C-alpha cells in the first residue's frame, strides 16, 4: 500500500532546517512514499526549531494542534528541539524522535529498515543530501520572511521597468531571506564555539566538516545543472575544516578559483574566525561574486561578549567590516543582535545599537534561557518586560538603519 507523508517545519527561517526538509522529502519519495497534504498523510514529520524560547513555544503549539486535529496520525519529531529539550518534548509527545538531519534515524522512527546514511556523518555528507529549498516550506516562515519573499518579484519587475539595477538593494532582496533560486551546499554540521547562550552545539555537537573536494564537486554539479546562485550552509562556516586540518581560508580559495560568474551567500560566519582570518580572506571576500555574508556580532559590548563566551573584540570586528565594505561595497552584511542578556546595562545596549550601523541587515533577538546553557543559570537575569522594552528600543534603530540603507542603495547602475 502506498504511504503518504507530510514534512513540516517550525523554523522562523533557518536555511539548514529548510534544506533538511527537502532532504527528508527526497529520501522518502525515493522509497516510494508520496508527499501529500497534511490531512491526507499517513505520517507527519515535524522538523523542529529550538533556537529561542519563542521558537520552542511555537513548536509545542504546532505539535499540540497537530495531535488534537489528527489524533490517529503517526507523528515523528526531529530537528534541534529533539536534542535541546527532549525531556519537555516527551511530556507532550510520546512518539518517536530523531536527531537533526539524520535520515537513518528518521527511518528508524518511521519503523522502516532502509540502508541510508544521515545528512551528515563523521565522514562528511551522505549521498542523500539535497541541494534545493522547497517553496512549500516558505508558508511556515514568519510574516517578515513571507513579506520579503512576496515583494521580491515585484522589486525585480520595478527594476526591469525602470531599466536599472540597484545593485546593493538587489542583493539585499535576493539574499536577506531564503531564496528558492539558490543551490544550497552544506559544508559542515556543528560548531567549535563555547557560547554560553546557545544550545545548537547540544543539538549538533562539535564541527564535522565535509571534505573540501566534495564541496567543490557539488559546486560543479550545480554549475552543470545550470545554477549560478549558491548558498553555503553551516552552523558556523568560520570553523570549517579545523577537524580536517583545513581552515576557512582553504575553502574560500578553492571556491573563488572557480571560473564561473556565480553568486554566493555565506551563511553564519562567527566573528572570532572572521577576525582570526581577516588578513588572509579580505581579498577573497572582495570578490564581487560574494554577495551576502552573515556575521552575527550578538553584542556591541566587549563585556557582554566575554560573558557570552565569545572570543573577539566588537570594535575590531566593526573596523574590519568597514574595511571590507570598501573592498566589496555591494556585499550585503547581515547581523544578529541579542538583547537582554543577563547583566546587560543600558550602556551595553547602546553599544549594540551603535554597531547596527555597520551592517546592511539586522535581526534583534531577545535573550532566551535555553536548557543546559550556562547563561540560563547566570545571575542578573533581565525580566521579560525589561527584554521587551530593550527589544522595542533597539528595533527602532534597526528600522532607521534599514531605511538609511534603502535610501543609500537607490543609486542605480546600468
Per mean pLDDT, which range of 132-146, 158-172, 304-318 is the poorest?
132-146
In this predicted structure, what is the pLDDT of residue 199? 86
111-122: per-residue pLDDT in tens? Answer: 887 665 444 444
Residue 283: all three cell numbers together: 581579498
In this predicted structure, what is the pLDDT of residue 164? 83
Specify the fold of 142-177+181-408: pyruvate-formate lyase- activating enzyme (3.80.30)
Determine contact, residues 279/305, Cβ cutoff 8 Å.
no
Among candidate residues 218, 210, 157, the one with its CA nearest the CA of residue 183: 218
In this predicted structure, what is the pLDDT of residue 119? 43
Q: Cβ–Cβ contacts within 10 Å for residue 38, how many?
A: 15
Among candidate residues 270, 267, 89, the one with its CA nearest the CA of residue 176: 267
**Domain spans in the chain, listed from the N-terminal domain onward:** 4-124, 142-177+181-408
Residue 285: all three cell numbers together: 571576500
272-283: per-residue pLDDT in tens? Answer: 999 999 999 999
Residue 87: all three cell numbers together: 525531556
- Who wins on pLDDT, 119 or 218? 218
Which residue shows C-alpha cell 521579560? Answer: 384
Total-model pTM: 0.90
Instruction: Tell me which H or E stretch contains 45.
Output: strand 43-48
Average pLDDT over residues 38-52: 92
> Would strands 188-189 and 208-209 be described as parallel, antiparallel, or unpaired?
antiparallel
In this predicted structure, what is the pLDDT of residue 105? 87
* Cα distance between residue 174 and residue 176, in whole Å: 6
186-201: per-residue pLDDT in tens? Answer: 999 899 999 999 988 8
Average pLDDT over residues 86-94: 88
Among candidate residues 311, 285, 292, 299, the one with its CA nearest the CA of residue 340: 299
In this predicted structure, what is the pLDDT of residue 21? 92
- What is the DSSP code (8-state) at residue 373? -
Q: What angle do CA 112, 4, 222 make, to 5 degrees?
A: 85
Residue 97: all three cell numbers together: 524522535
* Cα distance between residue 349 and residue 335, in whole Å: 15
In this predicted structure, what is the pLDDT of residue 36? 94
Among candidate residues 246, 112, 107, 258, the one with its CA nearest the CA of residue 183: 258
* Cα distance between residue 357 and residue 362, in whole Å: 9
Q: Confidence band (pLDDT; 50, 70, 90) for 225?
A: very high
In this predicted structure, what is the pLDDT of residue 163? 86
333-382: per-residue pLDDT in tens? Answer: 999 999 999 999 999 999 999 999 999 999 999 999 988 899 999 999 99
239-268: per-residue pLDDT in tens? Answer: 999 999 999 999 999 999 999 999 999 989
Burial of 244 (0-12, 13-18, 19+ CB in 10 A): middle
- Who wins on pLDDT, 262 or 55? 262
Q: Confidence band (pLDDT; 50, 70, 90) for 46?
A: very high
What percent of the chain has a predicted confidence (pLDDT) above 70? 95
* Cα distance between residue 221 and residue 35, in whole Å: 26
Q: Confidence band (pLDDT; 50, 70, 90) for 412?
A: low
Residue 124 pLDDT greater than 60, yes or no = no
132-143: per-residue pLDDT in tens? Answer: 888 888 887 888
Q: What is the CATH code for 4-124?
A: 3.40.50.280
In this predicted structure, what is the pLDDT of residue 125? 40
Q: Mean pLDDT, the chain, as a whole number?
A: 91
Amino acid at each position: 500500500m502506498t504511504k503518504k507523508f507530510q514534512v513540516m517545519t517550525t523554523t522562523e527561517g533557518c536555511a539548514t532546517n529548510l534544506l533538511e526538509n527537502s532532504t527528508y522529502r527526497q529520501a522518502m519519495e525515493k522509497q516510494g512514499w508520496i508527499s501529500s497534504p497534511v490531512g491526507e498523510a499517513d505520517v507527519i514529520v515535524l522538523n523542529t526549531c529550538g533556537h529561542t524560547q519563542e521558537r520552542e513555544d511555537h513548536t509545542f503549539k504546532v505539535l499540540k494542534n497537530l495531535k488534537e486535529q489528527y489524533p490517529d496520525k503517526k507523528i515523528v519529531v526531529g530537528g534541534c528541539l529533539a536534542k535541546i529539550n527532549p525531556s519537555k518534548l516527551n511530556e507532550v509527545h510520546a512518539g518517536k524522535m530523531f536527531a537533526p538531519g539524520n535520515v537513518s534515524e528518521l527511518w528508524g522512527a518511521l519503523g522502516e529498515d532502509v540502508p541510508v546514511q544521515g545528512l551528515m556523518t563523521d565522514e562528511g555528507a551522505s549521498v542523500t543530501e539535497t541541494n534545493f529549498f522547497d517553496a512549500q516550506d516558505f508558508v511556515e516562515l514568519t510574516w517578515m520572511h513571507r513579506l520579503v519573499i512576496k515583494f521580491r518579484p515585484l522589486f525585480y519587475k520595478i527594476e526591469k521597468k525602470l531599466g536599472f539595477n540597484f545593485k546593493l538593494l538587489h542583493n539585499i532582496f535576493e539574499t536577506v531571506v531564503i531564496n528558492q533560486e539558490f543551490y544550497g551546499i552544506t559544508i559542515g554540521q556543528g560548531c567549535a564555539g563555547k557560547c554560553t547562550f546557545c544550545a545548537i552545539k547540544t543539538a549538533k555537537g562539535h564541527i564535522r566538516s565535509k571534505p573540501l573536494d566534495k564541496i567543490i564537486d557539488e559546486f560543479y554539479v550545480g554549475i552543470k545543472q545550470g545554477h549560478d546562485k549558491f548558498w553555503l550552509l553551516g552552523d558556523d562556516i568560520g570553523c570549517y575544516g579545523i577537524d580536517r586540518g583545513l581552515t576557512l581560508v582553504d575553502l574560500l580559495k578553492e571556491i573563488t578559483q572557480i571560473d564561473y560568474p556565480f553568486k554566493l551567500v555565506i551563511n553564519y560566519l562567527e566573528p572570532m574566525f572572521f577576525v582570526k582570518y581577516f588578513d588572509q580572506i579580505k581579498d577573497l571576500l572582495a570578490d564581487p561574486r560574494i554577495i551576502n555574508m552573515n556575521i552575527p556580532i550578538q553584542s556591541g559590548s566587549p563585556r557582554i561578549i566575554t560573558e557570552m563566551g565569545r572570543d573577539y573584540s566588537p570594535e575590531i570586528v566593526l573596523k574590519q567590516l568597514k574595511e571590507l565594505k570598501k573592498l566589496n561595497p555591494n556585499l550585503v552584511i547581515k547581523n544578529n543582535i541579542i538583547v537582554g542578556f543577563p547583566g546587560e546595562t543600558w550602556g551595553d545596549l547602546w553599544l549594540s545599537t551603535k554597531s547596527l550601523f555597520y551592517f546592511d541587515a539586522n535581526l534583534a533577538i531577545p535573550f532566551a534561557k535555553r536548557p543546559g546553557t550556562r547563561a540560563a543559570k547566570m545571575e542578573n537575569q533581565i525580566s521579560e518586560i525589561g527584554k521587551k522594552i530593550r527589544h522595542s528600543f533597539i528595533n527602532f534603530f534597526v528600522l532607521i538603519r534599514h531605511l538609511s540603507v534603502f535610501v543609500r542603495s537607490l543609486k542605480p547602475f546600468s
